[in-house]
Amino acid sequence: MWLAGRGSADITGEAAECGMLGYGKADQQSAGIHTRLRARAFAFATGGMRTLLVVCELPLIFPSVVNAVLARLPDGYTEANVMITATHTHCGPGGYAHHRLYNGNAGGFRRRTFEAIVDGIVEASAKAHADLAPATLLLGHGELRDASVNRSKQAFDRDQEEERAFFPGAIDPQTTLLRIVREGVTVGAVNWFATHNTSMTNTNTLISADNKGYAAYHWESREEGLVAAFAQTNAGDMSPNLRLKPGHGPTEDERENTRIIGTRQYEAANVLTGEPVVAALDHRFTHLHLSRVLVRPEFTGDGRAHRTSAPIAGASAFAGAWADGPAFKGFREGHHNPLWAALSRGLVYPLSPKLRDAQVPKALFVPARGMVQERVPVQLLRIGRLYLVGIPGEVTIVAGLRLRRTVAAIVGAELRDVLVAGYANGYAHYVTTPEEYDAQEYEGGSTLFGRWELPALCQTAAALATAMRDGVPVGRGIPAEQPRVRHSRHNPPPDVPHPGRRFGDLLSLEIKDGRATATFVGAHPGNDLRRGGTYLEVQKQENEGWTIIADDGDWSTTFRWSRHGRAASTVTITWESAAPGTYRIVYHGDTADGPFTGSTEPFALDLDRTPGDTV
């Protein structure tokens, strides 16, 4: 018999003046909220065993977060049976890693964002554990072909013909849904589908859960009590920007694209009724020193043993993925970085044959030792007939296929029931096939540990699968040491109101084409992150009272902060109305002296139309 539980909690970090993680752009600093970020946790138990799966609307997962969460979970939950994954939105605040590379544009480690994330994950997990109750699990598979495109086709075309034939559209169309059902009602759902969470571009400065966040919000808003997560799988070379240009595809509007790609994921998932899953849980877990793996000939593909190397970023990694957002000027994808290629061929590789064997033909640019995670977690979770291969990186679809086939062949599972759970438990950048690596597109340049990284991971996944099949333990390995962090020195000046005004004063209200825009004398949002709360409310007058119909977690609202002078703030709240009525917009702010509230006067809307929410 299955026991299953689910829980959800807010994990939104600093909504102002915090560098956003994902695109690596110095000027992408948070300036408000498009949608709040959430952690959704799912607990499973049967036969004295338990597992916890947490899907977080975050750019990435780091060991800093995992270790802090594990220390606060109930007894029985460990690094081996807990999987914490990220949806990989590129519009979340950064600064929560203990590896300095990821805190660069955040000015260092941001404790308040880190604590909001950890507190939220722990809260969601505690809810899921407390919610454990008899349930039926249903697993279903389908296809979705208009929500992704291969952004690295040149590299994909180097893969084996049979593998390319497996993905005739150069995408992974499989969408998988695990339902938690009680008394005929779906109360929990986890979907896996491969597409980058990058519909919002690197010019956006509002915190956003992006297309996967919209899919979850869309479904949950239609079914009361439902917790629905849209998780990642092998999305390394899958873009939602169907026209292979940031913010383009299927429309020219990034916000509308977010909604459409999210809705398509929801619709493809919701129709999957699934078949019952026999109660069985198992897990295997190890820490792999990815810089020092001797890969056996049966995994390398050329009949010889090879070694991985210390992490080094290639010049093409700094070009960025052009379909989702170029990175730094002066760098190009592929073999088009002649200076760095010449230095690598003429100086570095001749001096180090071992490095050459691991990293050629990469045009070496930045050694990353000490800057990124080298001892990485690799995990295999079994939930009935579903097997999740937890990889702390961005796995391309063919790399994912090789991992899936490796595990499926050993445990005797159907291939469709074995998924790569990318962005799980840590982050070690990209995972490409050796053939894709040779193309040195963005993904290959970002495969830090060299050409044999995927074979090393396949070898490790095979060991976990064999141990699971045979019912024997595996060695834990040596976890990474937690590096010292450099804390951010960001301290905004004490808040002052606009001259002649008070905090919360309404500066303007504009109502046009079904949209209400209210501007207030505000305060810095960093004074209180309002985790689990809101900076705004849209209230509707009903029966001589006011009912809250939307807050800053809703798709229909945006909360934007801006600096006014040196220490004053302006807050602009927009709301897309959906029905006629009498409304008011309320703003909640905080200063060092405590909270305050501002509000518009009641205003009437008499719409000739009701905006739809369909594609």
The residue from 239, 291, 316, 344 that is catalytic is: 239
Residue 256 φ then ψ, to 5°? -65, -35
Q: Is 239 a catalytic residue?
A: yes
- Residue 226's identity, in one-letter code, is L
Cα separation, 188 vs 54, in Å, equals: 12
* Beta strands in 334-405, from DSSP E residues, in sequence order: 364-367, 375-383, 386-390, 394-395
Residue 550 φ then ψ, to 5°? -160, 155
Cα separation, 515 vs 579, in Å, equals: 11
In Å, how far from its chain's centre is CA 237? 15
Contact 42, 4 (CB under 8 A): yes
Burial of 197 (0-12, 13-18, 19+ CB in 10 A): buried
Cis-peptide into 361, omega within 30 deg:
yes
Give the Å distances, CA to CA, from 583 to 511, 523, 549, 603.
11, 24, 10, 5
Q: How many residues does the chain have?
A: 615
Cα separation, 448 vs 290, in Å, equals: 10
| Residue among 534, 537, 546, 590 nearest 10 (CA) | 534
Cα separation, 192 vs 398, in Å, equals: 16
Which residue is associated with the tokens 């469709």? 416
DSSP code of 598?
A: E
| Residue among 11, 15, 14, 59 nearest 37 (CA) | 11
Beta-bridged to residue 50, according to DSSP, are: 45
**Dihedral, 346, 350, 354, 359 alpha carbons, nearest 10:** 10
Cα separation, 208 vs 204, in Å, equals: 9
Beta-bridged to residue 179, according to DSSP, are: 138, 189
- Residue 455's identity, in one-letter code, is P
Cis-peptide into 602, omega within 30 deg:
no
Q: Which two tokens stand for residue 530?
A: 């309002």
Give the Å distances, CA to CA, from 335 to 320, 330, 341, 445, 606.
14, 13, 8, 10, 59
Strand (E) or helix (H) holding 4 = strand 2-10
The most distant pair of C-alpha atoms in the chain lies apart, rounded to whole Å, by 81
Burial of 271 (0-12, 13-18, 19+ CB in 10 A): exposed
Cα separation, 121 vs 62, in Å, equals: 13
Active-site residues, by number, are 239
